[in-house]
Amino acid sequence: MAQMQAWLKRLEQAGRLRVIEEPCDVNLEMAHAAYVEVKQDKSDVLLFKRPVNREKGIEYEMPVVMNMFADFKTTEMIFGRHPDAIAEEIETLLHLKPPRGLKETLDLLPRLFALKNVFPKRLKNRGACQARVFQGEAADLDTLPILTTWPEDGGPFITMGQVYTQSLDGTMQNLGMYRLQQYGKRRLGMHWQIHKDASHFFDQYKAAGKKMPVTVAIGGDPLYIWCGQAPLPHGLFELLLYGFVRGENPRLVKSLTNDIWIPEDVDIVIEGEVDPEKLEIEGPFGDHTGYYTLKEPYPVMDVTAVTMRQNPVYQATVVGKPPLEDKYMGWGTERIFLPLLKTTAPELIDYHMPENGVFHNLILAKMAVRYKGHAKQFMHAFWGVGQMSFVKHAFFVGETAPELTDYEALAAHLLDRLSPKRVLISEGIVDALDHSSPEALVGGKLGVDCTGEPVEEGVATLLDDAALLEKLRALDSNVKAVRQYMIHTKNPVAVIAYEKSASVKRLFERMEALKAHLKVAVVVDAAKNSVDNPYMLIWRVANNIDAKRDIRLAPFIMVDATDKTEVDGFTREWPGDVVCDAEVLKDLRKRGIVRFDEAFAERFML
């Protein structure tokens, strides 16, 4: 049985698969349905049996699976055990010592013997993924149910493609998870960012004046796609991680029209080549930040062949505002890579990236403090390690802090220790998807040391929300609402909804008069945010600030989380955040494909 088909059978038996028999359109409908489903308290993997493209008049022959990483339990099923158990195995290997005596040698042999399963095995024959072959004019991407996920997307995108590339000399191979825009029947946009291995390989081919081979796989074992986004050190082939987690060799076959090797049991394979001299505008695309990434030139892949197995299943995902299935993929990554992070920062106890902080935008870390300034040293270590270098905002706590996922208790712990003196604002690289920095790829970094004892001073005179709003409106009538959080701590947080007509710096100057009543003030756009929705407020603030520009530390901490425009001296284009098409949602509700009420829609800003 096909790997994906086997997974679907397991999920069905476990009561975690929801089958949708009614025709659903690849344009918005399927993505909107998956977007709503994964936000439910109990979300299921979705199998759309009858995908259609009404605009093109296509009824696809293959079903579409979405939300494969639907929740923690399903993700654990994919790994075969809890990610912490995998992390323990990695930690054990990292601390292996030469055996002393026969008994230790015999105890070590099974562990070493198991490592033989890590390495990919190249097969001589064709794989199941090459049962059906389409080349030339027959290699038509329109035969695949490629989704358009958001109303302002530049077109349909492959969103769960396993992108296989190799170095110019063939000694290094890489598996990445990149979105791919469909331009036509045989052309795909390659959105690999400049920090990725595939982009480094591209530079090699460009320097040599040669076309670059690329193969994209879809489906198969769900673990393949997780490996594609795993932050392995440069030069390590991600399928080594697959072999380690599964305990069995990845079985690879050679592509038919290039020399790239791919898993033999995937569902669909798209082969092609990239001309390094040709770039094309890619995007916009509603991305995992919850914002659209803007149009930019990227390389283009010319398709040379499409192959597939008998009865293939097309796998897709939808990204946007949290929570989505990348929450659960990220959870696996976070837990499994903790031991590797400890090799650089040995005093690290644990770390966590909340999904509404959009992963790279917010990290919480617990550490064993050994000496004065240790937390600040940790900040620099984090900002210098692999993909951790993209982290924008980092909060560090000591050994006695609550669990990092106990948000209420941890927030109180942080705010009782927050002080402008314990804040470090720096600058470094940021993710290519970051929109808030004054220039692309470089922006402000915020590090906060909350490892010490609680601060002594709190708010001199705490006002209730109504009284505080009255004082704020007396300073500036564009203040529309205020809500204070964690008022029992030393640093209550006042969230201020503001109708912006000028730079927020002007409001900050006026607010200095309220220093007896405020310790932390966060300003957001009134039109886009509810001060009563803390989950989405964290998402908005983590996305919208550049620490060097938007944080003021005196006379109290002030944060400008509004959209930036020319009144702020912001010269880049500020993207819109992704929202569902109201008519599509209405129709899906009417047909019973999605179920939610208005409170749900407001809670997640659908």
User: Could you give the CA distance from residue 492 to residue 487 in angstroms, rounded to a whole number?
Assistant: 5
Q: Are 192 and 199 in contact (CB under 8 A)?
A: yes
The amino acid occupying position 476 is D
What kind and span of H or E run contains 4? Answer: helix 3-13
Residue 415 binned pLDDT confidence (cut-offs 50, 70, 90): very high
- Asked if residue 113 has pLDDT above 70, the reply is no
- Residue 111: is its pLDDT beyond 70? no
Cβ–Cβ under 8 Å, residues 253 and 126: yes
Statement: residue 378 has pLDDT above 90: no
Encode pLDDT of 282-292 as tens digits.
Answer: 999 999 999 99
Average pLDDT (17-27) is 97
Q: Residue 27, Cα to own-chain centre: how many angstroms? A: 23
Q: 326, 325, 65, 51: which is closest to 218 by C-alpha?
A: 65
pLDDT band per the 50, 70, 90 thresholds, residue 1: very low
Residue type, 260: I
pLDDT per position as a tens digit, 427-481: 998 988 899 999 998 999 999 999 999 999 999 999 999 999 999 999 999 999 9
pLDDT for 94: 67
The average pLDDT across 322-340 equals 94
Predicted pLDDT of residue 104: 56
- Does the structure show a pLDDT above 70 at 112? no
Q: Looking at the domain that runs over 3-80+118-315, which CATH code has it been given?
A: 2.30.110.10
Question: Tokens 């695309």 identify what position?
Answer: 285
pLDDT per position as a tens digit, 80-101: 999 999 999 888 776 656 656 6
Please provide the CATH number assigned to the domain covering 343-450. 3.40.1670.10
Place of tokens 């796989």: 217
State residue 388's pLDDT score.
Answer: 83
Extract the tokens encoding 452: 């010490």
Could you check whether 3-80+118-315 and 343-450 share the same CATH topology? no
Neighbour tally for 406: CB within 10 Å: 12
**Each residue's pLDDT tens digit, 556-596:** 999 999 999 999 999 999 999 999 999 999 999 999 999 99
| Phi/psi of residue 469, nearest 5 degrees | -60, -40
What's the topology of domain 465-568? UbiD C-terminal domain-like (3.40.1670)
Q: Left (φ > 0), alpha (ψ -120 to 50) or beta: where does 72 sit? A: alpha
Give the whole-angstrom CA distance, residue 57 versus residue 277: 35
Looking at per-residue pLDDT, the higher value among 14 and 195 belongs to 14
Tokens of 100: 């002393």
238-269 burial: b if 16+ Cβ within 10 Å, else e: bbbbbbbbbeebbbbbbbebbebbbbbbbbbb
**Per-residue tokens: 417:** 């220790």
pLDDT digits (tens, 9 = 90+) for 41-78: 999 999 999 999 999 999 999 999 999 999 999 999 99
pLDDT at 164 over 70: yes
Q: Is 458 left (phi over 0), alpha (psi -120 to 50) or beta?
A: beta
Of the given ranges (275-284, 338-347, 364-373), which has the lowest mean pLDDT? 338-347
Mean pLDDT score across all residues of the chain: 93
Given a cut of 90, whether residue 503 has pLDDT beyond it is yes
Query: Residue 316, CB half-sphere, CA atoms under 13 Å: how many?
Result: 29
Q: Rounded to whole angstroms, how far apart are CA atoms 220 and 230?
A: 17
Percent of all residues in the chain with a pLDDT value above 90, rounded to a whole number: 85
Please name which of 72, 117, 89 lies closest in space to residue 337, comparing C-alpha atoms: 89
Q: Other C-beta atoms within 10 Å of 44: how many? A: 18
With cut-offs at 50, 70 and 90, classify the pLDDT of residue 253: very high
The domain ranges of the chain are 3-80+118-315, 83-112, 343-450, 465-568
Predicted model pTM: 0.94
Contact 170, 258 (CB under 8 A): no
